[in-house]
């Protein structure tokens, strides 16, 4: 049974995407369920008693990840709420075990070998040093926010999707609040004193959830993002505080490689039943359908991956040439 203290007020938004371009955002105040997906039991109907009082205060109640066996209906209208399921995907998470070394032993041998190769290559390029810094206090959070945004603005997630590190007063206030409660972690990877990759995570009880991960695309060939995640996980697991570490939705390869478990899940929005919310839901669904149709067409034409690479590529940027210190 989900109880009131497991819901947390937070600003939310529906992103209207066409392909990988975000052209509009519908913002609203919501109560977000903080219970980890692996600990949620019961049907959506059984959750209703805990949701209805929240809709008197918020526009919606959001379940970021709800475990499913079959995909639920995308829209359900009742007298008390509008249930909207915009997406279903896989949710990846980590059971850290007793130590970082024991966690690594559960990683498939081929994946572990490839990871070590990438770590070795970056270490050689950086002169034998890995400069990863962790941020968690209020003063440290302010430093992290400034440096991480400089990296975030270079990513395609920022340019196209609007899902990079938020650059708003609300986010800064939330960051400071979480830091004051030891409920955030910021990680930055540096090269020659300059930040080149970042990760932002929030702590909810014994769960650590990575919210944003990004890297300067000029460092793609040196796997800066993978190097960052590896050392961030080493740091987080080394705290011996977190029983679950997760990456959230999406089927990016790094999530599969680092995860120890996964669940099919859906994001569920339970809106207050108003005409405005119904219009937002219907238009958002229409946008998804149009984007999927165009995506299928470009895939059949054999140009989908070329278009994706073109729009993701940073304008005027170059990639770091791979050269190790052994080359002299």
Over 90: is that where the pLDDT of 306 sits? no
Asked if the structure places residue 232 within a domain, the reply is yes
33 and 51 assigned to the same domain: yes
Supply the pLDDT for residue 113.
96
Q: What percent of the chain has pLDDT over 90?
A: 63
Asked if the structure places residue 248 within a domain, the reply is no
114 and 233 assigned to the same domain: yes
| Structural domain that includes position 43 | 4-90+263-312
232 and 177 assigned to the same domain: yes
Asked if the structure places residue 27 within a domain, the reply is yes
Expressed in angstroms, the distance from the first to the final Cα of the chain is 63
Query: Looking at residues 282-299, what average pLDDT do you find?
Result: 90
Q: Look-up: residue for tokens 């040196």? A: 222
CATH code, domain carrying 103: 3.40.630.30
Supply the pLDDT for residue 49.
79
pLDDT, tens digit, 9 for 90 and up, residues 151-183: 998 876 655 555 578 888 989 999 999 999 999
112 and 235 assigned to the same domain: yes
Q: Is residue 58 very low, low, confident or very high in pLDDT (cuts 50, 70, 90)?
A: very high
pLDDT, tens digit, 9 for 90 and up, residues 86-119: 989 899 999 999 899 999 999 999 999 999 999 9
189 and 127 assigned to the same domain: yes
* Three-state SS at 272: coil
Q: Which tokens in the block code for residue 159? A: 């340019």
Query: Looking at residues 218-230, what average pLDDT do you find?
Result: 95
Over 80: is that where the pLDDT of 20 sits? no
201 and 286 assigned to the same domain: no
* DSSP E strand stretches across 179-318: 184-191, 194-204, 207-215, 244-249, 261-271
CA pair distance 65, 92, nearest whole angstrom? 11
How many structural domains is the chain composed of?
2
129 and 176 assigned to the same domain: yes
Q: What percent of the chain has pLDDT over 70?
A: 89
Choose the weakest-confidence range: 38-42, 192-196, 285-289.
38-42
Q: Is residue 42 very low, low, confident or very high in pLDDT (cuts 50, 70, 90)?
A: confident
Angle, helix 275-300 to helix 304-312, in steps of 10 degrees: 120
Query: Looking at residues 39-59, what average pLDDT do you find?
Result: 88
Choose the weakest-confidence range: 239-248, 281-290, 304-313.
304-313
Helix (H) or strand (E) holding 75: strand 75-77
Residue 324: phi, psi to the nearest 5?
-100, 170
Q: Look-up: residue for tokens 């209805």? A: 52
129 and 159 assigned to the same domain: yes
pLDDT, tens digit, 9 for 90 and up, residues 182-205: 999 999 999 999 999 999 999 999
Supply the pLDDT for residue 314.
59
CA pair distance 103, 36, nearest whole angstrom? 20
102 and 227 assigned to the same domain: yes
Taking all residues of the chain, what is their mean pLDDT, rounded to a whole number?
A: 88
User: Buried b vs exposed e over 45-81: b needs ≥16 C-beta within 10 Å?
Assistant: eebeebbeebbeebbbbbbbbbeeeeebeeeeeeeeb
User: Buried b vs exposed e over 203-225: b needs ≥16 C-beta within 10 Å?
Assistant: bbeebbbbebbbbbbebeebbbb
291 and 238 assigned to the same domain: no
Sign of CA dihedral 55, 60, 64, 67: positive
Asked if the structure places residue 108 within a domain, the reply is yes
Choose the weakest-confidence range: 44-53, 107-116, 209-218.
44-53
84 and 214 assigned to the same domain: no
Asked if the structure places residue 255 within a domain, the reply is no
| Higher pLDDT among residues 310 and 13, named by residue | 13
Supply the pLDDT for residue 248.
82
Residue 262: phi, psi to the nearest 5?
-155, 160
CA pair distance 31, 63, nearest whole angstrom? 9
Supply the pLDDT for residue 161.
53
CA pair distance 169, 171, nearest whole angstrom? 5
């Amino acid at each position: 049974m989900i109880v009131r203290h497991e819901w947390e007020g937070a600003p939310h938004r529906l992103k209207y995407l066409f392909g990988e371009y975000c052209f509009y955002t519908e913002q609203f105040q919501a109560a977000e369920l903080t219970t980890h997906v692996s600990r949620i039991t019961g049907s959506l109907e059984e959750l209703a008693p805990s949701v209805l009082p929240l809709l008197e205060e918020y526009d919606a109640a959001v379940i970021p990840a709800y475990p499913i066996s079959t995909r639920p209906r995308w829209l359900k209208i009742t007298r008390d709420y509008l249930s909207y399921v915009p997406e279903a995907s896989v949710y990846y998470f980590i059971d850290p075990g007793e130590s970082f070394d024991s966690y690594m032993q559960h990683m498939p041998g081929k994946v572990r070998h490839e990871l070590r190769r990438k770590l070795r290559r970056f270490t050689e390029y950086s002169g034998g040093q890995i400069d990863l810094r962790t941020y968690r206090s209020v003063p440290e959070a302010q430093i992290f926010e400034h440096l991480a945004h400089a990296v975030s603005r270079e990513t395609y997630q920022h340019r196209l999707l609007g899902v990079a590190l938020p650059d708003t007063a609300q986010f800064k206030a939330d960051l400071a609040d979480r830091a004051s409660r030891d409920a955030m972690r910021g990680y930055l990877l540096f090269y020659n004193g300059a930040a080149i990759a970042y990760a932002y995570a929030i702590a909810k009880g014994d769960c650590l959830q990575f919210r944003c991960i990004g890297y300067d695309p000029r460092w793609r060939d040196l796997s800066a993002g993978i190097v960052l995640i590896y050392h961030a996980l080493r740091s987080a697991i080394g705290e011996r505080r977190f029983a679950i570490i997760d990456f959230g939705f999406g089927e990016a390869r790094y999530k599969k490689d680092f995860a120890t478990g996964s669940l099919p899940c859906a994001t569920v929005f339970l809106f207050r039943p108003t005409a405005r919310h119904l219009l937002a839901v219907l238009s958002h669904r229409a946008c998804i359908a149009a984007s999927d149709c165009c995506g299928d067409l470009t895939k059949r034409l054999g140009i989908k991956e070329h278009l994706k690479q073109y729009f993701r590529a940073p304008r005027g940027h170059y990639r770091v040439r791979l050269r190790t210190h052994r080359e002299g």
